[in-house]
């Protein structure tokens, strides 16, 4: 995982599977960055994530709720086709902006 904060925008690049084991750790690390920087825009890049289960969906929804509470915006960037399909089926795409670059 890498992060970058610049001009009110926090970007997290994930490079691991989003399963129950990984999400336990990621949740607290990502929340720490969000609370530290309190961004106006939160971007999470999933281009290197090859697998995501329901824990990953929970991770994204939890971060969305935190960002929404802070009156900020969240974007999921570059999901693979399989991850994008999972997100669409879970209706996350109705709440969180998804885009590809």
Cα separation, 88 vs 91, in Å, equals 5
Can you give the pLDDT at residue 59? 96
- Across 1-101, the runs of DSSP E, i.e. the strands, are 2-6, 9-13, 41-45, 73-77, 97-99
- The token pair at 63 is 């971060």
CA angle at residue 14 from 9 to 17, to 5 degrees? 150
Residues 13, 8, 62, 31: is their CA dihedral positive or negative?
positive
Per the model's pLDDT, the better-predicted residue between 4 and 89 turns out to be 4
Residue 92: per-residue pLDDT:
85
Average pLDDT estimate for 10-31: 96
pLDDT digits (tens, 9 = 90+) for 69-93: 999 999 999 999 999 998 888 888 7
Fold of 2-99: Transcription Regulator spoIIAA (3.30.750)
Residue boundaries of the structural domains of the chain: 2-99
């Amino acid at each position: 995982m890498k992060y970058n904060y610049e001009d009110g925008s926090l970007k997290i690049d994930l490079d691991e599977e989003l399963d129950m084991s990984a999400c336990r750790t990621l949740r607290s690390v990502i929340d720490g960055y969000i609370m530290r920087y309190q961004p106006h825009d939160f971007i999470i890049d999933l281009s290197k994530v090859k697998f995501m289960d329901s824990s990953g969906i929970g991770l994204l929804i939890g971060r969305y709720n935190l960002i929404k509470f802070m009156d900020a915006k969240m974007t999921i960037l570059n999901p693979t086709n399989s991850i994008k399909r999972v997100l669409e089926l879970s209706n996350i795409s109705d709440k969180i902006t998804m885009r590809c670059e």
